[in-house]
Amino acid sequence: MSPETQQLLSALGDRLGAGGVLAGSDVDQRYRDDPDGKLGALPEAVLRPRDTAGVAAALAACNRLGQPIVVQGGRTGLTGAARVQPGEVVLSLERMTGVDAPEAASIVAQAGATLQAVQEAADGAGLMFGVDIGARGSATVGGNVATNAGGIRVLRYGMYRAQVLGLEAVLADGSVLTSLKGLPKDNSGFDLSQLFIGSEGTLGVVTRAALRLHPKPASEVNAFCALPSLDAAITLLGLLRQKLGPLLSAYEVNFAPLYDAMVASMDMPAPLPAGSPVYVLAEIQGNEPERDGERFAEVLMQAVEDGVIEDVVVSQSPREVRALWAVREDANRVLFSIKGLIGVDISIPLARMGAFLQEADAAIHAMDAGADIYVFGHLGDGNLHYQVRTVDPAAAYDIIYRGVAAAGGGVSAEHGIGLDKKKWLHLVRSDAEIATMRRLKAALDPGNILNPGRVFDLGPPALAK
């Protein structure tokens, strides 16, 4: 064990209680886990506070010693922000999993609680939490805040930022900022909670969150549609928004040939035959169970008559709703089975999406005629998950990200930047913006101990113009 780690462990002493510090052979391999399979280093120590005071003590000690920390929640992030780098100690929120009972339209949860625990607590009180993502069972509140998580219902409820009524966070020096009143409207000074949303653990460690809850919809109906083109899918999105307004809650897309590959090996009945260029899963959440499905079907049938939709199935029961969502999630089964696939999570203005897809396809196939491209995503938000199997992944990344930047898009729609996308950040953010991010980092974490090297590297200090 390094002298630094020994100093830290002795500084924290009994402060974190039994099981609060793991070191040496007590450190489990799971702290190296990474969903992308890029194993992190085995940390020399893991700090596992039980409460906010413990987090504050851990950070204050690390800050005094200049000990870098990597913050871990559910380790489901897709850009390596929680991947242990050599010399880092892990600060894990895994023992802070408390979820309070919902009060009025809000709930307070500790950072280590899973998304699913929040969803279930809301549901138990007849309410609903607005964010849902595939990793719900392991992704945590803290990680969701730190990455400003997105998912399938951003269209209706907004990103994770829109769910946050307030946070408690600990700064690198151990200062605790508590803003958990849960007020929907409060302009009493700067809203400091905003700093910690989407900054990937680089500015402070979130310990608790006051989250907004919504009335539980009385009905949920979805539909799976085959469409002749992306343009048709964008037209249908506009139609559904116009006719159904705020009821529309999800609008997911799946392009050929991904759906074809899914159908070829699906272990459930395919809702529609393969062969169309574009498939969409649309969902509404309403308050009139006896009527919402019928209205939704009417709008869809009109779109069929107008040639916007080629074919459609509308769910007739909660079981069918789940079955259509299972088809959407089946994309991952196929994609995980393909060796050597690279994937990006990009944001493109809808008006430029068609041109971007055509140009990226042409450029990738010019570079590697045998490349396979699989695209799905959250079309309602302009967010695509774009996968390529190619002999030259580096060239493919370059083509895609430069195309995204040229189209006025973002190199990360919902996953964040972490370690793995840092080198592309400059394509979409100016020097002045990156210099300002560094200024904030220097102001709140002058010793650079919190998730160092995530999002950006500390360059030379930003110079005033």
Q: What is the DSSP string of 18-29?
A: TTSEEEGGGS-G
Nearer to a second copy, 112 or 198 (CB): 198
Between 39 and 104, name the residue whose CB sits nearer to a second copy.
104
Taking a C-beta distance cutoff of 8 angstroms, is the pair 301, 246 a contact?
Answer: no
Site size toward a second copy, by CB under 8 A = 91
Contact letters for a second copy, residues 80-119 (x by CB under 8 A): -----------------------xx---------------
Q: Which stretch binds a second copy (CB under 8 A): 10-18, 68-76, 225-233, 440-448?
A: 440-448
283 lies in the binding site for a second copy (CB under 8 A): no
The torsion region of residue 53 among left (phi > 0), alpha (psi -120 to 50) and beta comes to alpha
| Residue 232: alpha-carbon gap to chain centroid | 27
Residue showing tokens 């209706």: 156
Least separation in angstroms between CB 292 and a second copy = 10
Mark the segment that binds a second copy (CB under 8 A) among 66-74, 287-295, 363-371, 387-395: 287-295
Closer residue to a second copy, CB minimum distance, 82 or 413: 413
Residue from 425, 450, 451, 452 that binds a second copy (CB under 8 A)? 425
Which of 9, 122, 261, 417 is the binder for a second copy (CB under 8 A)? 417
125 belongs to the binding site for a second copy (CB under 8 A): no
Per CB under 8 A, the list member of 87, 158, 257, 277 interacting with a second copy is 158
Given the structure tokens 């140009």, which residue do they identify? Answer: 359
CB-side neighbour CA atoms (13 Å) of 221: 22
Q: Which of 427, 455, 426 is nearest to 440 (CA)?
A: 455
Site for a second copy in 9-48 (CB under 8 A): none
Which residues within the stretch 187-216 sit at the binding site for a second copy (CB under 8 A)?
Answer: 187-192, 194-195, 197-199, 215
Which residues neighbour 167 within 8 Å (Cβ) at sequence distance 6 or greater?
A: 145, 177, 179, 180, 192, 193, 196, 197, 206, 208, 209, 210
Task: Look up residue 229 and give its DSSP letter.
Answer: -
Q: Are 60 and 8 in contact (CB under 8 A)?
A: no
- 304-363 positions binding a second copy, by CB under 8 A: 347, 349-351
Min dist CB 321 to a second copy, Å, is 17
Query: What string marks each residue from 236 to 265 as x (binds a second copy by CB under 8 A) or -?
Result: -----xxxxxxx------------------
Residue ranges in 357-396 that form contacts with a second copy under rule CB under 8 A:
378, 381-383
Q: How far apart are CA 289 and CA 315, in angstroms?
A: 13
Compute φ and ψ for 30, nearest 5 degrees: -65, -20
Q: Which of 39, 264, 338, 443 binds a second copy (CB under 8 A)?
A: 443
The reply to whether 163 sits near a second copy by the rule CB under 8 A is no
183 near a second copy, rule: CB under 8 A: yes
5's CB contacts (< 8 A; 6+ apart) are: 23, 44, 45, 67, 89
Least spacing, CB of residue 201 vs a second copy, in Å:
12
Distance, in Å, from the CA atom of 106 to the CA atom of 213, rounded to the nearest integer, reads 5
